[in-house]
Amino acid sequence: MFQNLFPIACTVVGYLIGSLSFAVIVSRVMGLNDPRTYGSKNPGATNVLRSGSKAAAIITLLLDALKGWLPVVLVKYFGKPYGLEEGTMAMVGLAAFLGHLFPVFFRFQGGKGVATALGVLLGFSGILGLATAASWLLIAYFFRYSSLASLVAAVFAPVYYVFGNGLAWYLDKSVLLAISLMSLLLIWRHAANITRLIKGTESRLGKPKAPSKGKAKG
């Protein structure tokens, strides 16, 4: 009886872990302005970078990815004795991603989920995650638009999963569904960025937007 509740419990825990908005937490700890008050007002690593602190942005990126990766790998490597298979792994990964988008601890106002989605993909498959990250890096390097890089990575993530697993019957449909839903949500969260890209008003990487609290006082 209780074993049937494990998938639900794991999904809830995954969502709660995903709800930790590290962009806000790291900024507070490092004495920076709240990322929800400047730039794109998005609590994510890219916007934290606009504060001028590369260290804060890197820490945010790593922690946001970690919170997507950790719940997935815990189910992946320790869940089978409790009856937790790929379906639970997919639900937990999607829940962590949704937690970042709609964090219960931060009034359901979260980020766009790029780093967390990457963490989830790395949890599903290291090769899948690395291929998606490489796509992001290539687009970001040549075009200097984080949003464009994220959109391209989102589009190709399900494609990489399908082709990376070879024959169609080898695919796990629940994992493919989770990846596809994350991709669609990522595109949806970037709707405003798409408009700015079309208009040519989207900000490029590497342009500071806000001073830290210490600098603002000076």
Q: In the prediction, which pLDDT does 218 show?
A: 35
Q: Who's near 170: CB < 8 A, 6+ residues apart?
A: none
**How many Cβ atoms sit within 10 Å of the Cβ of residue 8?**
11
Q: For residue range 93-102, what is the model confidence (pLDDT) as tens digits?
A: 999 999 999 9
Domain count along the chain: 1
Q: Classify residue 209: in a domain, yes or no.
A: no
Q: In the prediction, which pLDDT does 207 show?
A: 60
Query: Which of the four pLDDT bands, split at 50, 70 and 90, describes residue 86?
Result: very high
**Which of residues 212 and 10 earns the better pLDDT score?**
10
Q: In the prediction, which pLDDT does 166 show?
A: 60
Q: Classify residue 9: in a domain, yes or no.
A: yes
Taking the C-alpha atoms of residue 20 and residue 186, their distance in angstroms, rounded to an integer, is 18
Q: Classify residue 216: in a domain, yes or no.
A: no
Q: Classify residue 210: in a domain, yes or no.
A: no
Q: Classify residue 213: in a domain, yes or no.
A: no
Structural domain including 136 reads 2-203
Q: Who's near 136: CB < 8 A, 6+ residues apart?
A: 114, 118, 149, 150, 152, 153
**How many Cβ atoms sit within 10 Å of the Cβ of residue 9?**
12
Instruction: Using a cut of 0.85, tell me whether the model's pTM lies above it.
Output: yes
Taking the C-alpha atoms of residue 213 and residue 218, their distance in angstroms, rounded to an integer, is 9
Query: Which of the four pLDDT bands, split at 50, 70 and 90, describes residue 217?
Result: very low
Task: Give SS3 for 34.
Answer: coil
Q: In the prediction, which pLDDT does 215 show?
A: 46
Q: For residue range 116-173, what is the model confidence (pLDDT) as tens digits?
A: 999 999 999 999 999 999 999 999 999 999 999 999 999 999 999 998 876 555 689 9
> Which letter, b or e, does each residue of 176-206 get, where b requires 16 or more Cβ atoms within 10 Å of its Cβ?
bebbeebbebbeebbeebeeebeeeebbeee
Q: Classify residue 42: in a domain, yes or no.
A: yes
Q: For residue range 24-77, what is the model confidence (pLDDT) as tens digits?
A: 999 999 999 999 999 888 899 988 988 889 999 999 999 999 999 999 999 999
Residue with tokens 């709800």: 19
**Which of residues 189 and 206 earns the better pLDDT score?**
189
